[in-house]
């Protein structure tokens, strides 16, 4: 995939900064009245039939968005998975307006995403309106920064257990190994089990079933199944078959937990949401609990695992930052924490595992020099924002030093989205990445299997390394 190695011939915006992080020129955005809408042109539309756009976006989002950026500029009109004409933007001011809008004015597009039939229409990820606020309020405490500190030991143990098994001198893909770690961590948090679930337990069977489900989602036919399920509240076809076993296990775990005499004192996430009551005293049904559990398991481990695989895919092909990181971590240098943070920030900038998120505006909206009518879906291309020349000079270079002594901007660096829909698991994902990255850097000399970068593969809503981040362990320390 040569597009990864080469910068697209994008137009650097005027005033591109000379440092390693710059700024975008201002651009007006936000709600407008009908008169202003009438005075503004619509974004330039991609001249391809809808099915071609859906296919291209689904299979090769990387090439698709960079090509459109080059051809149409920072805003364009598209047709995609979602209903009606959509627009796509990559300007920080446009993103600020969308993230700061009220949930009524700009609800999330996750409500219409391919995940809806899998997670149900009412989970914290897919719900909109008061239902979303209620679910989010319920789930925020266990994912809060301070609560995450409780998981640090569990993360370190999961990482150590897994890293100890990696072969020396033989190529392997990092993504599935990282998934083993992140799945143990999220399942530990949800079900309150320390360490990997023991064979013979329901949790162990669920772990196996989830891994099979994810393997299945890379098979030919999975894309078709995904398209067939679009717009549905219930899964059917292959998706339904794939979910049958994990669902049965989750329901059995829920039933057992309901009758657990210790339920009132348990600190795990499942017990917490099982006990929670709304203002009118209602508790979550089994179905609702299943939807939240599946949301947390599915949103919470593959993303983090692939983001880590990307970090190493970048590091093993960039000897300077790799060496600097390894040296600092092994010497327990003063700046080791900062280097770990800068490396992760840069990896998430250059390879955001969720390359696009979006909102549907309920009123007419301005996007720079263009206007879109009410009920337009607006895609926020995280990938394109992260590769703006004006924000990140030499955007295709991997430069962790961009972030030394500097925090990323809320609307310029958005791997976790933003506003009231910002990723619920961001603190957990960062804690996992910090601990695992550091542990690998400390213990292993990793090298690439090929000098050529791994291209991106687009699966469901994620962008993952095409070969899973293949590496060879040269030596252990």
Residues 117-136 touching ligand HEM, rule: CB under 6 A, are 124-125, 136
Residues 8-27 touching ligand HEM, rule: CB under 6 A, are none
Residue position matching structure tokens 């307006």: 97
Q: Provide, rounded to whole angstroms, the least separation between the CB of residue 302 and ligand HEM.
A: 9
When asked if residue 357 is in the footprint of ligand HEM (CB under 6 A), the reply is yes
Q: Provide, rounded to whole angstroms, the least separation between the CB of residue 181 and ligand HEM.
A: 12
When asked if residue 391 is in the footprint of ligand HEM (CB under 6 A), the reply is no
Q: Using the rule CB under 6 A, which residue among 114, 368, 400, 418 binds ligand HEM?
A: 418
Query: How many Cβ atoms from other residues are within 10 Å of residue 329's Cβ?
Result: 20
The mark string for 248-287 relative to ligand HEM (x by CB under 6 A, - otherwise) is ----------------------------------------
Do residues 428 and 151 make contact, with C-beta atoms less than 8 angstroms apart? yes
Q: Using the rule CB under 6 A, which residue among 303, 318, 350, 381 binds ligand HEM?
A: 303
Q: Using the rule CB under 6 A, which residue among 113, 291, 295, 443 binds ligand HEM?
A: 295
Do residues 428 and 149 make contact, with C-beta atoms less than 8 angstroms apart? no
- Per CB under 6 A, the segment of 51-59, 169-177, 423-431, 444-452 that binds ligand HEM is 423-431
- Per CB under 6 A, the segment of 71-79, 255-263, 310-318, 413-421 that binds ligand HEM is 413-421
When asked if residue 428 is in the footprint of ligand HEM (CB under 6 A), the reply is yes
Nearer to ligand HEM, 118 or 296 (CB): 296
Nearer to ligand HEM, 134 or 467 (CB): 134
Nearer to ligand HEM, 125 or 325 (CB): 125
Q: Provide, rounded to whole angstroms, the least separation between the CB of residue 138 and ligand HEM.
A: 11
When asked if residue 463 is in the footprint of ligand HEM (CB under 6 A), the reply is no
- Per CB under 6 A, the segment of 33-41, 62-70, 294-302, 435-443 that binds ligand HEM is 294-302
Do residues 124 and 295 make contact, with C-beta atoms less than 8 angstroms apart? yes
When asked if residue 293 is in the footprint of ligand HEM (CB under 6 A), the reply is no
The mark string for 335-354 relative to ligand HEM (x by CB under 6 A, - otherwise) is ------------------xx
Rounded to a whole number of angstroms, the distance between the first and last alpha carbons of the chain is: 34
Per CB under 6 A, residues contacting ligand HEM are 108, 110, 124-125, 136, 186, 295-296, 299-300, 303-304, 307, 353-354, 357, 415-418, 421-425, 428-429
């Amino acid at each position: 995939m040569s597009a990864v190695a080469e910068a697209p011939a994008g137009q650097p915006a005027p005033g591109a900064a000379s440092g390693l992080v710059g700024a975008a020129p201002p651009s007006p955005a936000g709600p407008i009245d009908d008169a202003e809408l009438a005075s503004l042109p619509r974004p330039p539309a991609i001249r391809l039939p809808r099915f071609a756009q859906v296919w291209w976006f689904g299979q090769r989002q990387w090439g698709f968005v960079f090509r459109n950026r080059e051809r149409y500029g920072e805003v364009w009109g598209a047709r995609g998975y979602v209903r009606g004409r959509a627009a796509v933007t990559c300007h920080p001011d446009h993103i600020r307006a969308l993230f700061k809008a009220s949930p009524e004015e700009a609800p999330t597009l996750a409500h219409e995403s391919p995940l809806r039939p899998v997670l149900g229409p009412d989970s914290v990820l897919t719900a909109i309106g008061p239902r979303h606020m209620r679910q989010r309020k319920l789930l925020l405490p266990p994912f809060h920064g301070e609560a995450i500190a409780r998981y640090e030991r569990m993360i370190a143990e999961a990482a150590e257990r897994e890293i100890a098994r990696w072969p020396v001198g033989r190529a392997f893909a990092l993504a599935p190994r990282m998934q083993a770690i992140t799945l143990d961590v999220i399942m530990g948090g949800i079900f309150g089990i320390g360490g990997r679930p023991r064979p013979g337990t329901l949790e162990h069977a669920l772990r196996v079933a989830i891994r099979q489900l994810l393997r299945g989602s890379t098979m030919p036919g999975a894309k078709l199944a995904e398209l067939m399920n679009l717009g549905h509240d219930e899964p059917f076809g292959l998706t339904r078959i794939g979910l049958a076993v994990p669902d049965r296990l989750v329901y059995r775990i829920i039933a057992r937990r309901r009758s657990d005499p210790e339920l009132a004192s348990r600190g795990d996430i499942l017990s917490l949401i099982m006990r929670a009551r709304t203002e009118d005293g209602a508790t979550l049904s089994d179905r609702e609990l299943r939807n939240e559990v599946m949301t947390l398991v599915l949103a919470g481990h593959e993303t983090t695992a692939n983001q880590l695989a990307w970090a190493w895919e970048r590091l093993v092909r960039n000897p300077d930052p790799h060496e600097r990181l390894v040296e600092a971590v092994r010497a327990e240098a003063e700046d080791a924490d900062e280097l770990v943070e800068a490396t992760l920030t840069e990896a998430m900038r250059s390879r955001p595992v969720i390359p696009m998120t979006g909102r549907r505006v309920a009123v007419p909206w301005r996007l720079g020099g263009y206007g879109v009518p009410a009920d337009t879906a607006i895609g926020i291309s995280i990938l394109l924002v992260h590769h703006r020349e004006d924000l990140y000079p030499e955007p295709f270079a991997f430069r962790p030093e961009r972030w030394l002594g500097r925090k990323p901007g809320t609307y310029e660096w958005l791997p976790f989205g933003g506003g009231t829909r910002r990723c619920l698991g961001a603190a957990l994902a960062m804690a996992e990445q910090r601990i695992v990255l550091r542990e690998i850097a400390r213990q292993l000399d990793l090298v690439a299997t090929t000098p050529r970068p791994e291209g991106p593969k687009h699966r469901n809503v994620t962008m993952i390394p095409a070969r899973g981040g293949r590496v060879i362990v040269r030596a252990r320390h």
